[in-house]
Amino acid sequence: MLWSINLLPKRKLFISKLLHYGIATKANLGRRGIHVSTSCEMCNSADEDSQHLFRFCYFARDVWRWGSLAIHSNFNETMSFQEWFLFYIRLFHRQDGTNSPRIVYFVSTLWSLWMTRDKRVFRGKVSNNSGVITLIQPRLEQHSTLHNKHSLQLGFLHPLEENPIYPPGFTRVILAGIETQDPNSIILIDGSWFKVTKNSGLGWRLDREQGSCDLIIGGAQPGTSISALYTEALACLLSLRWASQAGLRRITIFTDSQRLVELLRSTEVMDVQLIWKLAGIKQVGYTFDWCIINKVDRSRVE
């Protein structure tokens, strides 16, 4: 599966060496009889092996957390690096397919962490987490150039509302819990709003692909609203309350509103009426064992 993924050949080679202890971390060098200090160059608080360098080092944790995938790399500490890596590769491959842009971003993050470490060791160049995230962009552009696609610079990190090519989960916000392979319930939400009359309608339902019958389980509500975004936020809030009352503990919300997800990830919301709805979404979301809100294509929630 790894060799069939749509990646640059040198990235595949890097991953192969990484999974087989073939890159020159200090721990690997020490195992080969080379007398070097094994302390991590970035934090100097633990041995520099793949698990620490790419997951547990404070530097790596910040890069993953603030990157576009918003991964909390220090969760599931009992997993080996190989298990952790393959969990995400399999997840993205299962959801997105061989051409998954999330796999490209994931591998590019690993590569950029390694390049940043090398620059510190061999050139004495100190960088911060934003510097690593900046390094990721040229990797994405290289991938795009190789496969004769348009530049990913803007679309990859900030998909347009009407753009259908980005998979569920790439633009998302995690409200509670950690990502595991445990089953979760997918809830589809949608809202409509008529600008002239201010009339609105909204609804939510449990994804029928996840259920054992064709019965539609969910809810709907008509009324009036101030905007399409407000209607979508209300649909999200009511669906979360419904899921909580239904006893669901691990849920994924699918919405076609890019803006809603962006606002839930942001700490700077100016609209007073939206502030309370977003706060309500987060408050209910925190009560679940796992709660994530994904931006998906319009056709996925119809």
- Contact (CB, 8 A) for 183 and 280: no
- Contact (CB, 8 A) for 221 and 237: no
Confidence (pLDDT) at 143: 67
- Please state the domain extents for the chain: 9-146, 172-301
Architecture field, domain 172-301: 2-Layer Sandwich (3.30)
Q: Residues of the chain with pLDDT > 70: what percent?
A: 82
Match 């919300």 to its residue by tokens. 253
Is the model more confident about 178 or about 232? 232
pLDDT digits (tens, 9 = 90+) for 77-111: 888 999 999 999 888 888 887 788 888 889 989 99
Alpha carbon distance 56, 273 (integer Å): 39
How is residue 181 written in tokens?
């392979």
Burial 275-296 (b: 16+ CB within 10 A, else e): eebbebbbebbeebebbbbbbb
If phi over 0 gives left and psi between -120 and 50 gives alpha, with beta otherwise, what is residue 284? alpha
pLDDT digits (tens, 9 = 90+) for 155-167: 333 333 444 344 4
